[in-house]
Amino acid sequence: MAKRLSKALRGKRRWVGLVTSPTLRSRSDIERKIDELQQEIDLSTKPRLMDFFRSDSETSRLFCVEHLDDEDEFGLMILRIAHKDTPAFRAALSESAGLEKYGMRTYTTSGKIRLVRQRMGIAKAKRHNG
């Protein structure tokens, strides 16, 4: 079994919490948008989708009621991106134009996924050890 890289040698990353358009209904829809975004803003590595909740999920509904003034329903997702890609990624998705063009807009960013989940009211997914 290969040794795991030390924390210092692993690539730095950021976790980005995003709100998504109700038109993004599946993980494959999101993967297509991420591929489009990666090519357009020339990201060094492909962002990895960690969590996704459709706009009709209970988690998304609670988030919209507690955190957003909008009457609209949005989905939620968390992406892992490379640290050096963070400024370009946030610039492309931080405004409402990102929601219109890509169907997603940044809500929060952190170096720890736990903090992004906490800020968005997302419970940690249960691991299935089988």
What pLDDT was estimated at residue 128? Answer: 60
Does residue 63 fall inside a structural domain? yes
Segments forming the whole domain that contains residue 37: 13-120
Alpha-carbon distances, residue 72 vs 1, 63, 80, 87 (angstroms): 49, 11, 26, 27
Question: Tell me, what CATH number does 20's domain have?
Answer: 3.30.70.3250
| Structure letter (DSSP) for residue 23 | T
Alpha-carbon distance of 76 to 119, in angstroms, equals 12
Does residue 125 fall inside a structural domain? no
Does residue 44 fall inside a structural domain? yes
Does residue 55 fall inside a structural domain? yes
What pLDDT was estimated at residue 79? Answer: 96
Alpha-carbon distance of 23 to 20, in angstroms, equals 8
Q: Per-residue pLDDT tens for 8-26? A: 777 789 999 999 999 999 9
Does residue 68 fall inside a structural domain? yes
- Rounded percentage of the chain residues whose pLDDT exceeds 90: 51
DSSP-derived secondary structure for 59-92: HHHHHHHHH---SS--EEEEEEEEGGGHHHHHHH
Q: Per-residue pLDDT tens for 36-55? A: 888 888 888 999 999 999 99
Q: Per-residue pLDDT tens for 65-110? A: 888 776 678 999 999 999 999 999 998 888 777 888 888 999 999 9
Judged by DSSP in three states, 16 sits in: strand
Give the closest residue to 51 by CA, choosing from 71, 30, 78.
78
pLDDT at 130 over 60: no
Number of domains comprising the chain: 1
Does residue 8 fall inside a structural domain? no
Does residue 7 fall inside a structural domain? no
